[in-house]
């Protein structure tokens, strides 16, 4: 399995197709000269429902973490009632280990804007807000520059082709976040967009019915929308010729893992970076072919497949296939954002678990008691274990805690607690001996001290 030519990084020099040193901002003229906005032009000649059907037929799954089918999400919108309808683009990218969207925002933001325009036409949306991570200062300026070019060339605005066809004034804005992890959750993002505290909302109602300012709203990730233009230009069959279909025996209603994907790789590899490949690529291939292998003297020990909330792959999962079924096959939460963090044999997994727990305890919005208290408890227990003061009972308590907090057990509104508990539980289960040895050291020290006293 190998991608024959780049799609999302077509204009961004990336190994093995180009040298990152040659990267530069792709403006409107360069974008259109290399086939940009062809998908939008084709879409504007189609009925909105027909555009939605193409995205549904392609089975494009969201690239922001949850993997929900984009076309299905678009189809949830209620009929028009003459009021406002919004598109909110999740460019928050706050998941540790994730930096794939930043590549597109840095160098080829028009690819995102094309997807936004197509979505606005397909779903009859009059206003788009790009909610961008507060720390992305340069990216926000680059994105605004591209938006200004898009207005100047009548992609958006009162006299745009999109507006004339749909009889409304399509507008697109950049909205700066304030650096809160929880605002990457779609309803927390909406609350922040409205100027309120970023607390996730109880659902239903879902955003498609009552989202931004209580109006119908579609929420998509940057990479998801960036993929829409190429799909509309080349068709659903082209998209489904890449990636990985359904596993044998899986019903046809289950989403597959079609298409190319951006993988952001960091950690103990020779060449960290963002690489484009088909879904289903093996972790080992991604590291050896694209990242130049492990660092000299390093051996693979573990990897986080998609941002820290997805849990960890163990030492025997070097050849794990990176697709949307990864959670079922390798006992982790899922593929997530495909932000791969690689760890070598020198990595202290107790310290990794403690550091992840610290992050989630700090970023919990505090709205739900199991998350507010549970993440803090996990951090304190892991800190005690790392410092040498833990016991075997602490390990059992960690597993009990991780199994009783989160949206999946039904105890919290959003999935932040799930990310915390899956990260801790998978590290603990797959590296149990390392944790057991750490608490056994304390028992040995106590025994030696007692013997000396006698």
- Per-residue tokens: 344: 């070598």
Residue whose C-alpha is closest to residue 20's, from 30, 33, 6: 6
Dump strand ranges (E) for 372-416: none
Average pLDDT over residues 386-400: 92
Do 331 and 324 form a contact (C-beta atoms < 8 A)? no
Is the pLDDT assigned to residue 402 strictly greater than 50?
yes
Q: How many CA atoms lie within 13 A of 320 on its CB side?
A: 29
SS (H, E, C) 110-131: HHHHHHHHHHHHHHCCCEEEEE
Q: Which domains does the chain have, with CATH numbers?
A: 20-241 (3.40.50.11540), 257-344 (3.10.20.600), 349-438 (1.20.1440.230)
Please give the Cα distance from 175 to 131 (Å, whole number): 5
**Reported confidence tier of residue 450, pLDDT bands at 50, 70, 90:** very low
| Confidence bin at 445 (pLDDT 50/70/90) | very low
Tens of pLDDT, residue by residue over 52-61, are: 999 999 999 9
Q: Which residues contact 175 (CB under 8 A, 6 or more apart)?
A: 129, 130, 131, 132, 193
C-beta separation of 55 from 70 below 8 A: yes
pLDDT tier at 67, thresholds 50, 70, 90: confident
> Across all residues in the chain, what is the average pLDDT?
93
**Predicted local distance difference test score (pLDDT) of residue 246:** 79
Mean pLDDT of 232-250: 88
* 3-state class (DSSP) for residue 103: helix
Range 182-210 average pLDDT = 95
- Give kind and range of the element (H or E) at residue 159: none
> Structure pTM?
0.93
Q: 25-60: b or e for each residue (b if 16 or more CB lie within 10 Å)?
A: ebebeebeeeebbbbbebbbebebeebbbbbbebbb
**Mean pLDDT, range 136-155, rounded to an integer:** 97
Residue 336 has pLDDT above 70, yes or no: yes
User: Percent of the chain beyond pLDDT 70?
Assistant: 96
Contacts of 278 (CB under 8 A, 6+ apart): 1, 2, 3, 242, 243, 244, 259, 260, 261
| Pairwise CA distance, residues 115 & 423, whole Å | 33
pLDDT in the model for residue 426: 95
The rounded percent of the chain whose pLDDT value lies above 90 is 85
Confidence of residue 68 (pLDDT cuts 50, 70, 90): very high
Q: What is the mean pLDDT of residues 330-345?
A: 94
């Amino acid at each position: 399995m190998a991608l024959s030519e780049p799609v999302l990084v077509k204009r961004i020099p990336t190994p093995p197709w180009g040298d990152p040193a040659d990267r530069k901002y792709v403006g409107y003229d360069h974008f259109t000269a290399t086939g940009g906005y062809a998908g939008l032009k084709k879409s504007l000649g189609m009925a909105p429902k027909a555009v939605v059907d193409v995205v549904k037929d392609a089975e494009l799954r969201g690239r922001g973490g949850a993997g929900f089918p984009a076309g299905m999400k678009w189809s949830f919108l209620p009929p028009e009632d003459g009021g406002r309808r919004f598109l909110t683009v999740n460019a928050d990218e706050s998941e540790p280990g994730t930096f794939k969207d930043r590549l597109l925002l840095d160098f080829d933001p028009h690819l995102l804007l094309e997807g936004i325009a197509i979505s606005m036409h397909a779903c009859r949306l009059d206003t788009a807000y790009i909610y961008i991570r507060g720390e992305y200062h340069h990216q926000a300026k680059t994105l605004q520059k591209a938006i200004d070019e898009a207005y100047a060339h009548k992609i958006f605005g009162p006299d745009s082709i999109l507006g004339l066809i749909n009889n409304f004034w399509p507008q697109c804005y950049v909205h700066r976040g304030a650096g809160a992890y929880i605002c990457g959750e779609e309803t927390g993002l909406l609350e922040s967009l409205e100027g309120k505290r970023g607390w996730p909302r109880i659902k239903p109602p879902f955003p498609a019915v009552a989202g931004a300012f209580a109006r119908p709203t579609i929420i998509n990730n940057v990479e998801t929308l960036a993929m829409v233009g190429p799909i509309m230009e080349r068709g659903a069959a082209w998209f489904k010729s890449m990636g990985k279909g359904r596993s044998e025996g899986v019903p046809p209603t289950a989403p597959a893992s079609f298409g190319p994907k951006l993988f952001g790789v960091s950690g103990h590899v020779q060449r960290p970076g963002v690489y484009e490949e088909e879904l289903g690529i093996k972790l080992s291939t991604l590291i050896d072919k694209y990242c130049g292998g492990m660092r000299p003297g390093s051996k693979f020990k573990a990897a986080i497949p998609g941002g820290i909330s997805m849990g960890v792959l163990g030492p025997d999962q070097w050849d794990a296939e990176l697709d949307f079924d990864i959670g079922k096959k390798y006992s982790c939460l899922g593929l997530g954002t495909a932000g791969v963090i690689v760890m070598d044999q020198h990595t202290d997994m107790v310290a990794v678990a403690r550091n992840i727990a610290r992050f989630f305890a700090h970023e919990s919005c505090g709205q739900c008691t199991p998350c507010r208290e549970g993440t803090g408890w996990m951090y304190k227990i892991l800190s005690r274990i790392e410092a040498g003061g833990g016991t075997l009972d602490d390990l059992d308590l960690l597993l009990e805690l991780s199994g009783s907090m989160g949206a999946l057990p039904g105890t919290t509104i959003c999935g932040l607690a799930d990310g915390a508990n899956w990260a801790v539980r998978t590290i603990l289960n797959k590296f149990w001996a390392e944790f057991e040895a750490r608490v056994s050291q304390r028992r040995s020290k106590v025994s030696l001290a007692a013997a000396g006293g006698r």
